[in-house]
Amino acid sequence: MNIFNRISSGILALLLAAVTLGGCSATNDTPLFVESNRKGGEAEAPVKDVPSDILSTQKAFSNVSKKVTPSVVNISTVSRKKFVQPFFETNPLFEDFFGAPQTRRNKSLGSGFLISKDGYIVTNDHVVRDAESVQVKLSNDKIYDAKVVGGDQKTDIAVIKITATDLPTAVLGDSDKLDVGQWAIAIGNPFGLDRTMTVGVISATGRSNMGIETYENFIQTDASINPGNSGGPLLNVYGEVIGINTAIVAAGQGIGFAIPINMAKPIFSQLIQKGSVSRGYMGVTIQPVTEELAQSFGLKQAKGALVNDVIKGGPADKAGIRQGDIITALNGNEVKDPSHLQRLVAEAGTGKVATFSIFRDGKALAVSLTLASADSMPQKAQRADRGGHQQKGEADLLGLVVDNAEEGDGVAVVDVLRNGAAAEAGIKRGDVIVSINRKRTPSLAEYTRAIQQAGQTGSVMALVRRGNASIYFALRIK
């Protein structure tokens, strides 16, 4: 009886609800929502006249997504890394008792893009480095196992390959023709969100000295780049690949970096052809040209790369390039700074004759040399020039106390006065001063004589050896 009562009560409640809803429908004709007449409703859109350029831009972005997304792939990797407690790491005998150190499987996600119909894919080296297995998912959701063809850590570029045919490929553009303010479009796999597209502009070009890679020439963009975007394409409004998305500034927003495609092409071409990358090498160490150094050398503008050491027996040494030369151009390309020269030499290739524009003793010279392979670079640089010996003295006009150098190769800095010219320039205790105003100082007597002569002009250019490196310093005598 109780069950019957509960069922009857439920049916009665449903009937009352139906009557109530029916009453609402019968007495109130107001629709629950307003629908646009662009979708078959009766209401007009809030904005009737959208500017044609906005509609064109919107359509352009949609077209880029439709045309390019099929060539963008999602990459997932699995790698194993040892997980060792510090105590066990320093006590190998415990391995016999407890067994080998455990490994931990790490999974990561990234992006890439197809450059050939038969399955070659360009991505970042850090996406696939040390991967135990690599899988690629295409835009049609097909999944393939991939093998790593080769990677280059110095530029963070890698190539992987899947076994397939007739695949959609990306079209490579010209990153040398980019201007700040142009549209930039990123497509990738951020946080595992497949085929995500973000839009921004080219914020800057030629970004270097970022501490990200050895060879840097980054495109900076504010198109959103997040973890998982690495290796995906940066595109222009034509859908052409202009860069490879690589890094972000974690503490900032809207600051992402991409490798220019023109810089990447010779790298991934070599990786496909031989699995590794060969770079040019000239055999010098270099430093930036500051305003003070430019003035000391008689150079009108602070640009180029100052040669502070020449490797004995290297291509530059054989060609006659000297310590103190300022390299201003390579094969007609103006050298902006040391990192720019480093990249130009690397890209010039091995066995190629390169012409360097040199500023020496107030004159412009041209020197040609055959670039060697960077693989032949000696582990320790051997300097082409040597100096002499000397003895201890008191603080001089530069605020330095010097002594005999153990190697007999200049003046050893024993102490640096806190407020002296040398301290302000950055000279440190333990440095060895090799020359003053381009005159060798193998002994204390010659060093003292050079300092006295410099005191008459008020400016000093010192060549300092610090460890295996040589550095020029421009100082003002107070």
User: What's the CATH number where 438 sits?
Assistant: 2.30.42.10
**Residue 445 neighbours by CB distance under 10 Å:** 13
Radius of gyration of the chain (CA): 33
Q: Which amino acid, 420?
A: G
Are 292 and 338 in the same domain? yes
Is 41 a domain residue? Answer: no
Statement to judge: residues 309 and 268 lie in one domain: no
The answer to the question of residue 435 being in a domain is yes
At 342, the amino acid letter reads Q
The total of structural domains in the chain comes to 3
* pLDDT tens sequence across 381-417: 433 433 323 333 457 888 888 876 766 678 888 888 8
Q: How far apart are the first and last CA of the chain?
A: 111
CATH code for the domain in which residue 242 is found: 2.40.10.10
Beta strands in 314-442 (DSSP E): 326-330, 333-334, 353-360, 363-370, 372-373, 400-404, 411-416, 432-436, 439-440
159 SS3 class: strand
Q: Which domain holds residue 309?
A: 280-376
- Residue 471 in domain: yes
pLDDT less than 70: residues of the chain: 1-28, 80-105, 250, 376-394, 404, 406-408, 456, 478
User: Could you tell me where the beta strands, DSSP code E, fall in 430-468?
Assistant: 432-436, 439-440, 459-466
Query: Do 285 and 228 share a domain, yes or no?
Result: no
In-domain check, residue 315: yes
In degrees and rounded to multiples of 5, residue 62 shows phi and psi of -65, -40
- Please indicate, yes or no, whether residues 369 and 427 belong to a single structural domain of this protein: no
- Tell me how many degrees the CA angle 8-14-19 measures, rounded to the nearest 5: 125
Phi–psi pair at 292, nearest 5 degrees: -65, -45
- Looking at the structure, do residues 184 and 244 belong to the same domain, yes or no? yes
pLDDT of 105: 65
Structural domain contains residue 464: yes
Domain boundary among 215, 243, 274: 274
pLDDT of residue 392: 37
Give the pLDDT of residue 204.
Answer: 94
Q: Do the beta carbons of residue 197 and residue 72 sit within 8 Å?
A: no
Amino acid 233 reads P
Which of 222, 246, 274 delimits the end of a domain? 274
**Whole-prediction pTM:** 0.68
Q: Do the domain assignments include residue 100?
A: no
Residues 253 and 290 in one domain: no
Q: Which residues pair with 329 in a beta bridge?
A: 334, 357
Do residue 261 and residue 186 come from a single domain? yes
Q: What are phi and psi of 211, to 5 degrees?
A: 75, 20
∠ CA 369-328-323, nearest 5°, is: 65
In a shared domain, residues 268 and 292: no
Note whether 357 and 431 are same-domain residues: no
In a shared domain, residues 184 and 260: yes
Would you call 36 a catalytic residue per the annotation? no
Which pLDDT value is given to residue 389? 30
With respect to residue 370, please indicate whether it lies within any of the assigned structural domains. Answer: yes
Predicted local distance difference test score (pLDDT) of residue 144? 96
Question: d(Cα 25, Cα 28) in Å, to the nearest integer?
Answer: 6
Q: Per the residue annotation, which of 71, 111, 125, 126 is the catalytic one?
A: 126
- How far is it, in rounded angstroms, from Cα 218 to Cα 198? 19
Q: What is the DSSP letter of 127?
A: H
Same domain, 268 and 288: no
Question: Catalytic residue at 389?
Answer: no
What pLDDT does 84 receive? 46
> Has residue 132 been placed in a domain?
no
Q: List C-alpha distances in Å: 213 to 109, 203, 279.
A: 20, 20, 15
Give the pLDDT of residue 178: 95
Choosing from 156, 309, 396, 431, which is the catalytic residue? 156
Q: Which of 111, 175, 230, 357 is catalytic?
A: 230
Q: Are residues 471 and 413 in the same domain?
A: yes
Angle (nearest 5°) at CA 372 between 330 and 347: 45
In whole angstroms, how far apart are CA 16 and each of 3, 13, 94?
A: 20, 5, 77
Q: For residue 182, what are the contacts with CB-CB under 8 A and spacing of at least 6?
A: 201, 202, 236, 237
Question: Of 255, 274, 293, at which residue does a domain stop?
Answer: 274
Q: Is residue 448 a contact partner of residue 428, using CB atoms and an 8 Å limit?
A: no
